Amino acid sequence: MLKERDAPRSDGAGASDRRHDAVGATAGKGPQAAASPRSSWFLLATASATCALISLDTNIVAVSLPSIARSFHAGFADVEWVVSAYMVSFASCLLPMGGLADRYGRKKMLLSGLLVFALASLGCGLAPNVGFLNLSRAAKGVGASLLLTAALAVIANAFPGPRERARAWAVWGMTMGIATTVAPLVGGVITQWVGWRWIFLLNLPVCAVLMVCAWHSVTDSRNPHAGPVDFAGSLCFGLGLACGIWALIGAQDAGWRSPVTSLRFAACALLIAGFVAIEKRRANAVVDLSLFSQARFVAAVLGMFGYAACAQVMMTFLPLYLQNAFEWTPVHAGVGMLPFALSMIVGPYLGVRIGRHSTASTSTLPIGLALVGAGNLLTAAVAQWNAYGWVALGMIVTGLGAGVLNGDTQKAIMACVPAHRTGMAAGISTTTRFTAIAMSVGVLGAVLASRTQSAIDAAMPCGAADSAAGSACVDAGFMSDLLAGDVGHALARLAPDARRALASIAPAGFATGFAAALGVAGALAFGVALLVWLLAGRRQVDERRDVARS
């Protein structure tokens, strides 16, 4: 776990809070900070590369989703789970994994995480079917959560001085940014030229090298005062989140009003209620629920949720859109994602300029969310034009807003808690991020599916086929294949007349569905921006009232 005052100011995950975290303590050795500068910076390179591997893996898979669908003839729900299984397990395990690292040693957990990540990658690369692939993706999420919490704690332990620490986090942040930027292009190149399985199999030699580097560079450290890990609360949260995502994704086939969907939502609500009840009773809860009584903290968490649900989720949907609507290859789609990725690099500099003229620490959040909303709505408005230049412009606006939010959401959450609680706050921040992405994949996927089917139904020409055949053209199986990117399989089982008609109608229908999903994301971003702005204003009123009373 991160030492509470040492939590990173940029993207990252914390673990359960420990007031007496002896970060520098090692098993029979002095602090790791006493190592030579050269070995410390080698350690930083190892830990940063480990975190970059997670970031790369999180964003690289989206470009390969249509290829995975074609390989297994998998439906849209299966493809959604390729992303969601990883996100759900990652978000569920972030809170307890830091406690494990504190209790049993950060080096041990870092090496264990690399081993789990490597074995899960092997399972993904050799998966015989999409069900096995999704189970392996869930296992990768567990390994990734252990890697991230342990790696961040190792960095905090190795650089105790303020100046060294600032430089270390700057290097770490730059590494993460580079990984996020190149992920779509790397994913497209590997998928098209080698095959999607190598996206996962290439993790094996990388993990092996990182294990060797970690073994030689990291000195083990642990917290001798670490309390028990909150497995019960974490299990309730993880299962509740999984049931909620299951309901959202499954509703596309089962129906929103079906008993199965209702049962899954009810299970989600009961499990999350159980999590809240457990956290209220625990002395060392992984989440201090009293923080949510502060308007400023709620505003910061809402900002993180809006950023992830409306901007980061585009890393999943944009590659699908570029390949389905424009009929691009994976490499072409990866290149087409660059306006979004590169503008995310520029965004933080814009955020700094905005911050210089702001009067409150949360004032940049509504502006960033408004940019994300405007970019999403612009892209939605031009998505059906088949004009990439306009789509790229929308990507740039969304990416600028995402870049503003990327660091400021984390800083806003950290600024709301005292120094001894920042580790827990970092855990809440990153858990919120991945929970929001997983939920948004389910919601926007449902909107995409519904609107695409409606658009295809409306566009079917009278002469293409009789009404019965026309109805069969857009059945659940056809739609599932189309949305997943397996257009060839979707069209192959149709009658010749319907096949010829839908060959041109289907991409346009997907673009219509994508526009509708982006419209929802844009409206949500503006709604969250308004809430954050109102909560920030309430906080300022409360502060002025407190000053007047004193």
Query: pLDDT tens for residues 298-320?
Result: 888 999 999 999 998 888 889 88
Q: Does 544 map to a domain?
A: no
| Residue 232, C-beta contacts closer than 8 angstroms, at least 6 positions apart | 278
Question: At which residue do the structure tokens 């069969």 appear?
Answer: 472
Query: For residue 26, what are the β-bridge partners?
Result: 221
Is residue 546 in some structural domain? no
As given in the structure block, the two tokens for residue 96 are 């307890």
CA 424 to chain centre: 19
Joined together, the tokens standing for residue 442 give 């389910």
| pLDDT confidence of residue 29 | 43
Question: How much is the pLDDT for 529?
Answer: 94
Domain end: 184, 203, 228, which one? 228
**C-alpha dihedral, 471 to 473 to 475 to 478, nearest 10°:** -170
CATH number at residue 219: 1.20.1250.20
467 or 243, higher pLDDT? 243
In a domain, 515, yes or no: yes
Is 130 part of any domain?
Answer: yes
pLDDT score for 174 = 76
Whether 241 and 213 map to the same domain: the answer is: no
237 and 191 fall within a common domain: no
Asked whether the beta carbons of 530 and 366 are under 8 A apart, the reply is: yes
Task: Give the model's pLDDT for residue 528.
Answer: 95
Position 149 confidence tier, pLDDT thresholds 50, 70, 90: confident
197 and 272 both lie in a single domain: no
Contact criterion met (CB below 8 Å) for 356 and 217: no
CA separation for the pair 324, 71 (Å, rounded): 16
Whether residue 484 is found in the same domain as residue 440: yes
Is 296 among the domain residues?
yes
| Maximum average pLDDT range among 246-250, 303-307, 324-328 | 303-307
Q: What is the pLDDT, as a whole number, of residue 176?
A: 79
- Do 144 and 264 belong to one domain? no
CA distance 448 to 441: 10
Query: What element of type H or E holds 64?
Result: none
Residues 323 and 422 in one domain: yes
Positive or negative CA dihedral for 326, 329, 335, 337?
positive
């939590």: which residue's tokens?
Answer: 7
How far is Cα 245 from Cα 313, in angstroms, rounded to an integer?
A: 14
pLDDT at 369: 94
Examine the fold and report which residue of 204, 228, 252 is the final residue of a domain before the chain moves on: 228
Q: Is the dihedral of CA 265, 517, 322, 177 positive or negative?
A: negative
pLDDT of residue 538: 64
Range of the domain at 154: 1-228
Cα–Cα distance, 56 to 338 (Å, whole number):
15
Average pLDDT across the chain, whole number? 80
Q: What is the CA radius of gyration of the chain?
A: 23
pLDDT of 12 above 80: no
Q: What is the pLDDT of residue 525?
A: 96
Establish if 548 belongs to a structural domain. no
Q: For residue 518, which phi and psi values (nearest 5 degrees)?
A: -65, -35
* Model confidence pLDDT, tens digit, residues 14-56: 444 443 343 333 343 444 444 555 677 888 889 889 988 988 8
pLDDT exceeds 80 at position 411:
no
Q: Does 543 fall in a domain? A: no
Q: How far apart are CA 92 and CA 438, in angstroms?
A: 11
pLDDT digits (tens, 9 = 90+) for 508-543: 888 999 999 999 999 999 999 999 998 877 655 555
Q: What is the pLDDT of residue 306?
A: 94
If you average pLDDT over residues 238-253, what whole number do you get?
A: 86
Annotate 178-242 with DSSP letters as a single string: HHHHHHHHHHHHHHHHT-THHHHHTHHHHHHHHHHHHHHHPPPB--TT-----HHHHHHHHHHHH
* DSSP, res 311: I
- What does the pLDDT read at residue 5? 38
Residue 397 — pLDDT band, cuts 50, 70, 90? very high
Close Cβ partners of 485 (under 8 Å, ≥ 6 residues apart): 65, 66, 67, 69, 70, 79, 320, 323, 324
Q: Do residues 261 and 250 touch, judged by C-beta distance below 8 A?
A: yes
419 or 239, which is more confident: 239
> How much is the pLDDT for 488?
78
* Whether residue 199 is found in the same domain as residue 130: yes
Q: Are 272 and 296 members of one domain? A: no
Same structural domain for residues 358 and 267?
no
pLDDT of residue 315: 85
Please count the structural domains in the chain: 3
Q: What is the pLDDT of residue 2?
A: 37
Q: 228, 245, 266: which is the final residue of a domain?
A: 228
User: What is the pLDDT, as a whole number, of residue 450?
Assistant: 87
Same domain, 274 and 327: no
The pLDDT of 256-264, averaged and rounded, is 90
Distance (Å) of CA 263 to CA 240, 250, 304, 436, 540: 12, 12, 29, 22, 42
Model pLDDT, residue 374: 96
136 shares a domain with 27: yes
Query: Do residues 476 and 126 make contact, with C-beta atoms less than 8 angstroms apart?
Result: no
Q: Determine the average pLDDT of the residues in 321-329.
A: 87
Amino acid present at 350:
L
Tell which wins on pLDDT, 356 or 237. 237
Has residue 263 got a pLDDT over 90?
yes
Do the domain assignments include residue 504?
A: yes
Q: Are residues 347 and 437 in the same domain?
A: yes
* pLDDT at residue 223, rounded to an integer: 62
